[in-house]
């Protein structure tokens, strides 16, 4: 007779059926029995990044699967709009740090599990911090944060030290669509390798939002892009500030009424300015389960882990498939080769910067450029930006010969991109 759910043996009875003996899909390195259970429950240390819609599901799954030493990082506080799907939070928790509340909830409901929270940014931690974990699971809603984490884990790999390789499991959702993937830094394709698979952000023509708005989104874009700087000058808009969102909402609503446009709401306003896609609780649950399943397989070797990409399409029925995403040889993070870029001889430095921002497989915000001998343009500090600003209007060919290299950096990313410049005839 199985033990009750009040003790560990009962809680993990079904997990033990997998770990006590090999199965038909067991990895050859799998050592069934007490050893693997001891590693899972007493030695494995796992980091979860994000305690939102995905993170809440991931934390609960990990605790119920047998991981006992879990850490979680999140920089956000709980908003009332989170409560419909982020089930670790209650109305009384609104305004509190997500990581702290989620950790307390899990430890209360699953005795014996330790969840250590950090309320802050992933960039606050150094490599020594990340080196302590056996693997990392990302449940983020930010491409930029994923890129930073991915590059950090790749840079940590030391060929002389196998322990420096930290598998990264990445999950993401967009409405009824989702993906989960396993990244073995320097061995498999990394997150940067697949930037061109991301949906390009929608951009509305300025002439449309200024003169002939037809959609509620046009009114919101008008308020944020045109009216905000007109009214507030150089004051930067904070999309996490409720007062700023309220101002945008009221201005956009007034404009929508002028053009007889319906549909401007608070949530849509927030979604447009923060590029938020509505979250679906069931999609989060499926993708979180996929991520935790891979974490369990990696930690125990009880089955072969994913190689290396899982996609869920739930828009028309339920459809999923897996495939191997291959490494890009010119990936700036794990490829090691310069990216060939062909431009017109008339291309200016400013136009190159626009290209780097817009190109789907690069997407670098506020890039700074240099050659082996010259600083072309630097975004910061202010003195250097001012000194290099005149170069923006000059032709790139004035500084870079054919087959010459340009190094691209950004303060938001912990890596540099090497471009090998070619000129079209």
Segment 105-126, tens digit of pLDDT:
999 999 999 999 999 999 999 9
Q: Given this model, what pLDDT does residue 90 score? A: 95
In a domain, 156, yes or no: yes
The verdict on 184 and 284 lying in the same domain is: yes
103 phi, psi to nearest 5 deg: -65, -45
Q: What percentage of the chain carries pLDDT values higher than 70? A: 95
Q: What is the mean pLDDT of residues 304-328?
A: 90
pTM: 0.77
Q: Judge contact between 14 and 3, C-beta under 8 A.
A: no
The verdict on 238 and 216 lying in the same domain is: yes
Q: Which of 288, 323, 358 is the last residue of a domain?
A: 323
Q: Given this model, what pLDDT does residue 10 score? A: 78
CA 223 to chain centre: 28
The verdict on 252 and 290 lying in the same domain is: no
Three-point CA angle 171, 174, 176, nearest 5°:
105
234 or 2, greater pLDDT: 234
The verdict on 293 and 225 lying in the same domain is: no
The verdict on 308 and 386 lying in the same domain is: no
In a domain, 4, yes or no: no
CA distances from 127 to 156, 166, 348 (A): 7, 11, 38
The verdict on 319 and 349 lying in the same domain is: no
Q: How confident is the model at residue 171 (pLDDT cuts 50, 70, 90)?
A: very high
The verdict on 59 and 192 lying in the same domain is: yes
Residue found under tokens 């409560």: 83
Q: Judge contact between 219 and 213, C-beta under 8 A.
A: yes
Q: What is the DSSP letter of 348?
A: B
In a domain, 329, yes or no: no
Q: Which residue in the list 193, 207, 291, 331 is annotated as catalytic? A: 207
In a domain, 5, yes or no: no
The verdict on 243 and 105 lying in the same domain is: no
Q: What tokens were used for 18?
A: 């997998």
Residue found under tokens 């004051």: 235
Q: Which of 292, 323, 354 is the last residue of a domain?
A: 323
Q: 81 burial class (0-12, 13-18, 19+ CB within 10 angstroms)?
A: middle
| Res. 129: pLDDT tops 80 | yes
Specify the number of domains making up the chain.
3
Residue found under tokens 């890039």: 367
Query: What gap in Å lies between CA 232 and CA 242, rounded to an integer?
Result: 16
Give the domain extent around 267. Answer: 206-274
Asked if 207 is an active-site residue, the reply is: yes
Query: What gap in Å lies between CA 425 and CA 423, rounded to an integer?
Result: 7
Q: What tokens were used for 210?
A: 């200024």
Find the range with the poorest average confidence among 120-129, 235-244, 250-259. 235-244
| Res. 51: pLDDT tops 90 | yes
Q: What is the mean pLDDT of residues 221-233?
A: 91
Q: How confident is the model at residue 7 (pLDDT cuts 50, 70, 90)?
A: low
Residue 401 sits in a domain whose CATH number is 3.10.290.20
Q: Given this model, what pLDDT does residue 205 score? A: 60
Query: What gap in Å lies between CA 329 and CA 41, rounded to an integer?
Result: 39
State the virtual CA torsion across 312, 314, 318, 319 in degrees, nearest 10: -40
Report which of 207, 74, 68 is spatially closest to residue 139, judged by C-alpha positions.
74
Q: How confident is the model at residue 1 (pLDDT cuts 50, 70, 90)?
A: very low
Segment 266-296, tens digit of pLDDT:
888 988 887 666 678 999 999 999 999 999 9
The verdict on 113 and 182 lying in the same domain is: yes
Q: Given this model, what pLDDT does residue 399 score? A: 92
Q: What is the mean pLDDT of residues 14-22?
A: 89
In a domain, 253, yes or no: yes
Out of 79-88, 162-171, 380-389, the most confident range is: 162-171
Q: Which residues, listed in sequence order, are joined to residue 198 by a DSSP beta bridge?
A: none
Q: Given this model, what pLDDT does residue 202 score? A: 56
Name the average pLDDT for the chain.
88
Residue 246 sits in a domain whose CATH number is 1.10.10.520
Residue found under tokens 């010259």: 374
Q: What is the mean pLDDT of residues 161-190?
A: 93
In a domain, 328, yes or no: no
Dihedral sign, CA of 154, 420, 355, 372? Answer: positive
Bridging pattern class, strands 339-343 and 319-323? unpaired
| Res. 305: pLDDT tops 80 | yes
The verdict on 188 and 284 lying in the same domain is: yes
Residue 156 sits in a domain whose CATH number is 3.40.50.720
Bridging pattern class, strands 69-74 and 114-119? parallel
Report which of 51, 80, 35 is spatially closest to residue 140, judged by C-alpha positions.
51
Segment 364-406, tens digit of pLDDT:
878 899 998 989 999 888 889 889 999 999 999 999 999 999 9
Q: Given this model, what pLDDT does residue 66 score? A: 93
Dihedral sign, CA of 355, 361, 365, 366? Answer: negative
The verdict on 135 and 159 lying in the same domain is: yes
Report which of 366, 342, 345, 344 is spatially closest to residue 354, judged by C-alpha positions.
366
Out of 48-57, 204-213, 415-424, the most confident range is: 48-57
Print the SS3 string covering 244-302: HHHHHHHHHHHHHHHCCCCCCCHHHHHHHHCCCCCCCHHHHHHHHHHHHHHHHHHHHCC
Q: Given this model, what pLDDT does residue 3 score? A: 41
In a domain, 331, yes or no: no
The verdict on 214 and 345 lying in the same domain is: no
Query: What gap in Å lies between CA 410 and CA 419, rounded to an integer?
Result: 14
Segment 322-368, tens digit of pLDDT:
999 998 888 888 887 788 889 999 999 989 988 887 787 788 878 89
């Amino acid at each position: 007779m199985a033990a009750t759910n009040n003790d560990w043996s009962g809680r993990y009875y079904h997990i033990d059926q997998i770990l006590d003996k090999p199965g038909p899909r067991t990895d050859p390195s799998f050592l069934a029995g007490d050893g693997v259970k001891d590693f899972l429950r007493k030695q494995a240390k796992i980091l979860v990044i994000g305690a939102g819609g995905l993170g809440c599901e991931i934390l609960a799954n990990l605790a119920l699967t047998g991981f006992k030493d879990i850490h979680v990082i999140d920089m956000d506080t709980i908003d009332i709009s989170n409560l419909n799907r982020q089930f670790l939070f209650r109305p009384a928790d609104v305004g509190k740090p997500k990581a702290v509340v989620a950790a307390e909830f899990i430890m209360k409901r699953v005795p014996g599990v330790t969840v250590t929270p950090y309320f802050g940014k992933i960039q606050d931690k150094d490599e020594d911090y990340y080196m302590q974990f056996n693997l990392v699971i990302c449940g983020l809603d930010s491409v930029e944060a994923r890129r930073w984490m991915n590059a950090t884990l790749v840079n940590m790999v030391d060929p002389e030290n196998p322990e420096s390789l930290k598998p990264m499991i990445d999950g993401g959702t967009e409405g009824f669509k989702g993906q989960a993937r396993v990244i073995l830094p320097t061995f498999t394709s990394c997150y940067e390798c697949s930037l061109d698979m991301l949906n390009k952000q929608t951009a509305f023509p300025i002439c449309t939002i200024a003169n002939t708005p037809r959609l509620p989104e046009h009114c919101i874009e008008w308020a944020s892009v045109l009216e905000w700087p007109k009214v507030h000058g150089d004051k930067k808009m904070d999309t996490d500030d409720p007062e700023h969102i309220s101002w945008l909402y009221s201005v956009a609503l007034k404009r929508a009424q002028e053009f007889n446009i319906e549909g401007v709401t608070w949530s849509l306003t927030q979604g447009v300015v923060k590029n938020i896609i509505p979250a679906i609780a069931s999609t989060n649950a499926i993708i979180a389960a996929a991520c935790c399943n891979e974490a369990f397989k990696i930690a125990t070797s009880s089955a072969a882990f994913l190689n290396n990409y899982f996609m869920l399409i739930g828009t028309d029925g339920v459809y999923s498939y897996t495939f191997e995403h291959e490494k890009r040889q010119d990936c700036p993070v794990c490829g090691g080769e310069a990216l060939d870029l062909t431009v017109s001889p008339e291309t200016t430095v400013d136009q190159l910067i626009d290209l780097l921002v817009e190109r789907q497989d690069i997407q670098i915000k506020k890039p700074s450029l240099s050659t082996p001998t010259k600083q072309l343009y630097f975004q910061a500090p202010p003195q250097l930006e001012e000194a290099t600003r005149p170069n923006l209007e000059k032709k790139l060919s004035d500084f870079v010969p054919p087959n010459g290299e340009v190094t691209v950096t950004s303060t938001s990313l912990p890596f540099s991109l090497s471009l090998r410049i070619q000129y079209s005839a």
